[in-house]
Amino acid sequence: MKLRLRLANGTVLLGYLSRELLSKVFTTTAIVVALMEILALLEQVTEIMHRKLGLSGVLYYAVLHLPLLLGNAMPIAVLIGTLLTLQQLTTSNEISIMRAAGLSTPGLIKLLLPATIALGLLCGIVDDQITPRTEQALAQWWNTTSRHAMTHRHNYWIRADNDLINITYLGGGGTMMNDVTVYHRDQRSLLQKITTLEDVHYIHGHWYGTPTHVLSVINPTRVDLLDTPPGQSVRLNWPASLTPGYIIQLTVSFTQSINTMLDEQRGVLPSSQSPSFFLTEILGRIMLPVTFTVMLLLAVPVVYIPPRAGTRSWLPIWCLGAGLLFIVFQGLLRALGNAGTLPSLMAIFVGILIFILGVITVLLRIEER
């Protein structure tokens, strides 16, 4: 009977704490996302109106940009929401009552952990399944509606099988390209031929281009210029997976699902990034629940605020500062991992490990007082 009563009380407390945490995290997320959306619209609304897209264009941009903003706002929202929850429980003496009933700080963390992990999984699903699709659609729409897309010079690189493709001008939502150079390589990655195309178009599921120069590499000291029919369009043997939408994703949006990045890393799909970039991004997305757990731990010291201090304590400010420092530090390591300067495992796990050990040390010091 005592065990059954204990389990029932634990379930009630788990539900209560989870509701309090989730309500504050989602409220904070809505506020942060709204502010970020307003700032993004203030930056782009003039260009949207200049393209004569009207209010529908503004709403279309806002809706498609929402998943990316949600994924960016969730970590800081989890930190702020947890701080608000724990501070409210502390100042209302609910933490003191829980401690008197025998609930320790590790027990409190265990009760808050399921909701935190669920938020991490939710954010991971949004980042992996929704954001790549909306960002690709947004980038393709933005490129299509631009009247000057073909006049903006770029330097996009795509690796398709053994070929390297350099794109200078991209328009029509990825269906039109100008000044394209294809570097054909053999199985040993040795250069065999260089084809320069004046324009490339996507028609009925295939790519067609107009060659201007074709250089054949005979050996390291000899290069021959091959004859090309003037103004004649030829069909290119590019992979069927290299669609206009996928080209936009590779060159503009850069947001992809884990399955897509794994296929690119194995060479099944064309890619525009290095293997270290893919490994770092995959590990970072998988470790989102652990990242959110670190945010939870960084907010836990708030429960040690004396009830009489109330909102006058500086401890929540220090916890918030520690959380922001973790986000900046983790972002810096992740950028180094993406560039291949730092090993991907180190880029993802070092920051998490340092801050977890730091929070545990702080909590042990506070408990000893």
The pLDDT of residue 152: 85
pLDDT value of residue 131: 95
**Average pLDDT across the chain, whole number:** 89
Task: Answer with the residue of higher pLDDT: 237 or 232.
Answer: 237
306 vs 319: CA distance, rounded Å: 16
Residue type present at position 252: V
The mean pLDDT value for 16-29 works out to 94
Residues 53-75 pLDDT 10s: 889 999 999 999 999 999 999 99
CA distances to 34, 104, 147 from 40, rounded to whole Å, are 10, 44, 21
Output the pLDDT for position 307: 66
Query: Which has more confidence, 3 or 131?
Result: 131
Quick one: pLDDT at residue 77? 95
319 vs 229: CA distance, rounded Å: 68
Residue 104 has pLDDT above 70, yes or no: yes
Q: Residue 217: its pLDDT value, please?
A: 82
Residue 139's pLDDT is 92
Residue 7 has pLDDT above 50, yes or no: no
Tell me what pLDDT residue 96 has: 84
pLDDT at 367 over 80: no
pLDDT reading at 36 higher than 90: yes
Res 310: pLDDT: 59
Residues 253-307: tens digit of each pLDDT: 788 999 999 998 888 899 988 889 999 999 999 999 999 999 999 999 998 887 6
pLDDT of 183 reads 93
pLDDT (mean) for 19-48 = 94
pLDDT score for 6: 47
Residue 362 backbone zone (phi > 0: left; psi -120 to 50: alpha; other: beta): alpha
Range scoring the smallest mean pLDDT among 23-32, 228-237, 296-305:
228-237
Q: How would residue 79 be classed by pLDDT, with cut points 50, 70 and 90?
A: very high
Share of the chain above pLDDT 70, in %: 95
pLDDT above 50 for 8: no
- Report the range of poorest mean pLDDT among 94-108, 270-284, 320-334: 94-108
- Give the pLDDT confidence score for residue 5 in this predicted structure: 35
What are residue 167's DSSP bridge partners?
Answer: 156, 180
CA distance 104 to 108: 6
Give the number of C-alpha atoms closer than 13 A to the C-alpha of residue 104, restricted to the C-beta side.
5
**Amino acid 323: pLDDT:** 93
Phi, psi of 51 (to 5 degrees): -85, 0
Residue whose structure tokens are 């304590």: 313
State mean pLDDT over 141-156: 88
Give yes or no for residue 222 having a pLDDT over 80: no
